[in-house]
Structure 1
Amino acid sequence: MEWPESGPECQLNCPHEHHGPHKHQGSYGHQEQYNNSSQAKSPAEHHSDLAFMEDYSNWDIVKATQYGIIDRCKELIEAGYDVRQPDKENVTLIHWAAINNRIELVKYYISKGAIVDQLGGDLNSTPLHWATRQGHLSMVVTLMKYGADPSLVDREGLTCLHLAVQFQHMPIIAYLVAQGQDVDAVDVNGQTPLMLATCKIIGPEPTRFLIKLNASVNAVDKVHRNTPLHWAAMSGNVAALTVLLDAGANVEVKNAMGETPLGLAQQNRNPWIIQCLMDANVDRSRNHLMLKFLKSFEKYKLLLLLLMAVIVIWVTGYVADLESDSWLLKSILFVSIWVTVQLVIRRFVSVQTFSYIPLAFLSASLFWMVVTWFIRFLPDMPDSCFQIPFALSITGCIYYFYRTWTAGPGYLRASEEEKKRTVVALAEADCLDPRIFCTMCLIRKPLRSKHCAICDCCVAKYDHHCLWIASCVGAWNQRYFVSFLFFLLTLVVWMTYGTIVYWSLHCATSYEKDGLWTFLTQIVSCSPWIVWIFLLVLFHSSWVTLLFVNQLYQILYLGLTTSERMCLIKRAHSGRFLGLRQNPFNRGCFQNLVDFFQCRCFGLFKPNQIDWTRQYSMGFEQPRAHEFQFV
């Protein structure tokens, strides 16, 4: 569920397209809707919009309120109309102003004595209830500034928070919680907003959003003693149930009837939910000794994966290097190694640890490359002109990998109090928009930042999540990452050169003399280990070369991150392409190079220093930069 987009710039009172009002409220659920106004209008704008209509000087005050005709409303109030007087449907003027988002009228009526928490309508609810149901965040903010109580319940027993959840108005949910509303507040049936979300709204939202707001996943209602997991199972809400399980919901809790979520799912015969709950039960009931042993050493997971990768690469090369001429035997051994690795990964490697496997494989590959160089290639190339560049390559590779890992990409984190203050400030500025506010981290997003789904955190100047370092590449570590790619590229080039020299000296054949097939079979029989290492070199050199060239192209020529470039490509396919000349971050190849690597050269160059963790506005860019907005 995405929040509605209001525009990249946080401008109050910006003009919006005007539509007709809500003219009849009734019981909410059966409204005669003539489209709602998304923003309060000035009198002049309303006069222009209604120029084609009848003369509104004779309108009654209810109709004038619905359409936001401030002059007519003031005229009638000054003539003696009681602002607290309900109409024949038991609806007051402030109710009509609230449902139609007439902010100026609400302020005026309150100044004339209107009761901000006046009950009215078929559901005996407050103006704040009406505004919440329609999703008018600006009206909710205004009413609460005047003292409206969001904890009051309507005739259905629902608070404003429950209503916001029921109608999936995420900004209002965030604002109410930030203003102190209990995210686990119960309605008349003892249900929390999370329970309401899981049983009445099919999909992952707003369940995931409420969990981000620290809603309890194991709370029970007062009537049936059901948890949110029970309600999700009964309603067949697979997406919400998956979110609850990921958040650690207890699958063994029993309700007042002694039923677990799995029992309810079996009664409803929902195969998907039954399978999810059965898998969760299996995961929680495992008591394998080896699993407990590995979990007790969770902090050593990287070391254990690295050790496993080192052993697997060595065993594979050892099998290939066996003197046996039986390729059938070697094939069987290779398949056995592969099956064993798959069983170990599936049995003992958790989902969180699985992302570190590419990193472990790369590290183990580099280890055996270095060992092979010093044991096999060094005797053939003793000159310092070969050894010094290789030593520099491996040293630079290790150093810049360490800096990439330790510096971090620039994760954006905030305390709970900071998140609440941010939500309130943005809501009151009418800027609670997903392009500037992260609905997952509940923080204001700086320019060029993005939420990484894998790391589950926002990253400053987000480039991409790199599997080979098991981390994001962002503002703080991208230059170290590019340097790491450069030294890794030189390393694989030297390994390729060493392999060619080794084959030319130790294999009694050549491509020119014996042809391709004989040459290949001879070098394989000459040293299968070297062939195995060379295959690893070819594999790593392929992605390193592509990634390094792509990074340089984007940094120097485009002045963009990978994420921003992908966004432009998507826009081009959708017909909303923005030319590169509109890119405010591109300052030319040379200046891009100076800025990226922060080159000063004893004061000769002046790099542009920007703290991308705190850069919220484009105060540094070239003309028309305000038009360049990445989503």
Structure 2
Amino acid sequence: WGGFTPLHYAALHGNRALVDLFLSAGADPNLTCDAGQTAFHFACQGNLYIIHQMMQYGADLRLIDLQGKTSLHHAVTGGSIAVHYLWETGMFRFTDTDMYQVTPLHLAASTGNTEVVRYLRCAVDAVDQQGATALHVAAERGGVEVCWILLQRTGCRMLHQKNHSGLTPLDLSKQGKTFHQQLTKLLSRYINEPIHHKPRESHLYYWTLFFPSLSGAAILLIAAMLGGYGGVICGLLFPWLARSIFTQYHRMTTYQLPNPVYLGTLIAGLFHSLLCFYGKMMPVWPTSALTQVSMVHFSILLGLFCKVLTQDPGALDREESDPRFSCIADLVENNQSPQRFCPYCELFQPDYTKHCKLCEVCIKDYDHHCLFLNRCIGRGNHRLFLFFILSMAAAHLLFVATGISYLYSKMPGGSHSLSLWLTLLGEEFWVAVMMVMNALTLLWEVWLLIEQFDAVATGTTTYFRQCESAARQRSLAQRWVIALSFLLEGRRR
């Protein structure tokens, strides 16, 4: 059907074993189906090993299908590494067009492939047969993130460019019905900017950073004005605030900015906890040794916080690129994962290295990108991060214990009925709310520390868990001894 050979089907489904069987049995990788596509065109949409395999068996890279699309056009579906692999052959350009003047960038914008859009190094203002740029295509499809990437690359002048029907990207966006409403707001915001201005979100960034602190303070002030009903108000409004905070993840994927709302949440927690601790609870015991101990501990905690925000997480320099490989073909021939090549930094990554799309850099011994710190955690700051989490857990435990003691001191002597406790919690809603938040955060940090220590015990990171079975073979005591030695010595085993 449609002129497909068995090799077409095997390549389309990425079946490496079948492709090898058919090629070794004499299958021709250059036979075309009724649409003029070869099995190699299908291979370019997926498995890099199959692409390499077919090239060894004489696949003709110069063949185009009946629409004039080259193998590079088809590789857009396969991702940026497949595109770069074909580009390495020297037979393709990123500006190649089909019979409709469609470039690979047009196709990437049409499919919403942000990885390839970010990677392709070609003229963004290239137009197809209908006069449409890649921005027109993305706007018509409602691709918010693609439009944002293209605007950052070229500036706002692209918003004024019209296709042959006289429509701008904003006009096309207004005609859509899916994600177009959000996109229309975005494009409308920048269409009146100077044409060479490249959009940034600095004002929204800082507003989002301080949103948790300001909103939390506003809720507490409203509750304080309502007296005994303050606890009820906090019980209603703080879940709303939590929902507002933790649904802000779309800002990372839409605008490719490290999401500031999580860092703002951490800052808000520190600020309100310190204010409640020293402004509300500690005056009850002004001469207590706990006051001096807590001040020293919180000073260390804030110092670690500033340090972990500023210390290099272990960015990979060009000189540290894996010297064993010079092109993607070297990776394939040595049966290494093609993902070890970073198309953004154009580096061959050593073991346990990953490119962070939020930080736009490759990180050695990549563990994770911490949303609450807006920083990657890697070789340069992993041990510091663990010390910071341990200090945070101790601070939360101290706060909860002190809060319980404070509430007991406020209870009338010899009476601990439920009604009195509920009345007390309503009156001391500030302490009660902060105790609940600190207790929940403490539980999350204990889970995080267990995950981190298990990763260290395997000699890897939480992102790269290839040796996870080795961790299960060790006893809990052995794993914690290895993790503690990492904290003290800073070396993995």
Shared fold, TM over 0.5 = yes
Give me the whole-angstrom Cα distance separating, in 1, the residues matched to 2:69 and 2:483.
Answer: 53
What are the Cα deviations for residues 34-83 of structure 1, in whole angstroms up to 9, with x where unaligned?
x99xxxxxxxxxxxxxxxxxxxxxxxxxxxxxxxxxxxxxxxxxxxxxxx
Q: Please show how residues 355-366 of structure 1 align to structure 2 within 5 Å.
A: 355-366=259-270
- Specify the SS of the correspondent of 2:313: coil
User: Match for 1:409 among 313, 324, 331?
Assistant: 313
User: Match for 2:94 among 162, 175, 183?
Assistant: 183
The answer for the alignment partner of 2:24 in structure 1 is 19
Q: Please show how residues 556-595 of structure 1 align to structure 2 within 5 Å.
A: 557-565=457-465, 578-580=469-471, 590=481, 592-595=483-486
- Specify the SS of the correspondent of 2:225: coil
What are the Cα deviations for residues 295-327 of structure 1, in whole angstroms up to 9, with x where unaligned?
999657666545443333233223333364456
- Specify the SS of the correspondent of 2:376: strand
Q: Give 1:427 deviation, angstroms.
A: 1.8
Structure 2: stretches of 5+ with no match in the other structure: 1-11, 152-157, 193-197
Q: Give 1:142 deviation, angstroms.
A: 11
Q: Which amino acid in 2 is paired with 1:185?
A: D
Q: Which amino acid in 1 is paired with 2:161?
A: V
Q: Please show how residues 126-145 of structure 1 align to structure 2 within 5 Å.
A: 136-137=51-52
Matched, 1:258 2:166: yes
Q: Please show how residues 291-306 of structure 1 align to structure 2 within 5 Å.
A: 304-305=207-208
Q: Please show how residues 187-266 of structure 1 align to structure 2 within 5 Å.
A: 187=98, 189-196=100-107, 203-205=111-113, 208-221=115-128, 223-230=129-136, 241-242=143-144, 244-248=146-150, 250=158, 253-260=161-168
Greater displacement, 499-508 / 160-169: 160-169
Q: Which amino acid in 2 is paired with 1:220?
A: V
The answer for the alignment partner of 2:184 in structure 1 is 281
The answer for the alignment partner of 1:165 in structure 2 is 75
The answer for the alignment partner of 1:400 in structure 2 is 304
What are the Cα deviations for residues 272-295 of structure 1, in whole angstroms up to 9, with x where unaligned?
x54334432321213899xxxxx9
What are the Cα deviations for residues 318-341 of structure 1, in whole angstroms up to 9, with x where unaligned?
33333644569x7499659958x9
Give me the whole-angstrom Cα distance separating, in 2, the residues matched to 1:196 and 1:282.
Answer: 24
User: Match for 1:539 among 426, 429, 440?
Assistant: 440
Residues 32/6 of structure 1: CA separation in 2 closer, same or farther (3 Å cut):
closer
Q: Give 1:174 deviation, angstroms.
A: 0.6
User: Match for 2:489 among 583, 598, 612?
Assistant: 598
RMSD in angstroms over aligned alpha carbons? 5.2
Q: Give 1:204 deviation, angstroms.
A: 4.1
Give me the whole-angstrom Cα distance separating, in 2, the residues matched to 1:455 and 1:471.
Answer: 8
Q: Which amino acid in 1 is paired with 2:394?
A: T
Give me the whole-angstrom Cα distance separating, in 1, the residues matched to 2:199 and 2:130.
Answer: 38
- Specify the SS of the correspondent of 2:369: strand
Identity of aligned residues (%): 19
Q: Give 1:225 deviation, angstroms.
A: 1.8
Q: Which amino acid in 1 is paired with 2:329?
A: A
Give me the whole-angstrom Cα distance separating, in 1, the residues matched to 2:211 and 2:94.
Answer: 45
Q: Give 1:168 deviation, angstroms.
A: 4.4
Residues 243/496 of structure 1: CA separation in 2 closer, same or farther (3 Å cut):
closer
Give me the whole-angstrom Cα distance separating, in 1, the residues matched to 2:16 and 2:434.
Answer: 55
Structure 1: stretches of 5+ with no match in the other structure: 8-15, 37-98, 100-128, 290-294, 570-577, 600-606, 609-620, 622-631
Q: Is the 8 A contact 1:317 1:532 kept in 2?
A: no
Q: Which amino acid in 1 is paired with 2:104?
A: P
- Specify the SS of the correspondent of 1:469: coil
Q: Is the 8 A contact 1:413 1:441 kept in 2?
A: no
What are the Cα deviations for residues 371-413 of structure 1, in whole angstroms up to 9, with x where unaligned?
2332333333344631232122212211112222111432446
User: Match for 1:486 among 390, 393, 398?
Assistant: 390
Give me the whole-angstrom Cα distance separating, in 2, the residues matched to 1:525 and 1:32.
Answer: 72
The answer for the alignment partner of 2:7 in structure 1 is none
Q: Please show how residues 105-120 of structure 1 align to structure 2 within 5 Å.
A: none
Residues 503/5 of structure 1: CA separation in 2 closer, same or farther (3 Å cut):
farther
Return the index of the structure with the highest Cα Rg.
1
The answer for the alignment partner of 2:223 in structure 1 is 320
Q: Give 1:479 deviation, angstroms.
A: 0.9
Q: Give 1:524 deviation, angstroms.
A: 1.9
Residues 393/521 of structure 1: CA separation in 2 closer, same or farther (3 Å cut):
same
Residues 553/382 of structure 1: CA separation in 2 closer, same or farther (3 Å cut):
farther
Q: Give 1:423 deviation, angstroms.
A: 8.2
Give me the whole-angstrom Cα distance separating, in 2, the residues matched to 1:502 and 1:441.
Answer: 54
Query: Between Structure 1 and Structure 2, which shows a larger proportion of helix residues?
Result: 2
- Specify the SS of the correspondent of 1:472: strand
Give me the whole-angstrom Cα distance separating, in 2, the residues matched to 1:478 and 1:134.
Answer: 35
Q: Is the 8 A contact 1:195 1:228 kept in 2?
A: yes
Residues 298/26 of structure 1: CA separation in 2 closer, same or farther (3 Å cut):
closer
Residues 243/185 of structure 1: CA separation in 2 closer, same or farther (3 Å cut):
farther
Q: Which amino acid in 1 is paired with 2:101?
A: G
The answer for the alignment partner of 1:45 in structure 2 is none
Would you say how many aligned residue pairs link Structure 1 and Structure 2? 454
TM normalised by structure 2 equals: 0.71
What are the Cα deviations for residues 551-573 of structure 1, in whole angstroms up to 9, with x where unaligned?
23443x444422234x677xxxx
Q: Is the 8 A contact 2:132 2:164 kept in 1?
A: yes
Q: Please show how residues 71-82 of structure 1 align to structure 2 within 5 Å.
A: none
What are the Cα deviations for residues 204-263 of structure 1, in whole angstroms up to 9, with x where unaligned?
45x732541323443213x432223445678xx67xx45532423546532223244576
What are the Cα deviations for residues 527-551 of structure 1, in whole angstroms up to 9, with x where unaligned?
3322233233223222223223432
What are the Cα deviations for residues 93-115 of structure 1, in whole angstroms up to 9, with x where unaligned?
xxxxxx9xxxxxxxxxxxxxxxx
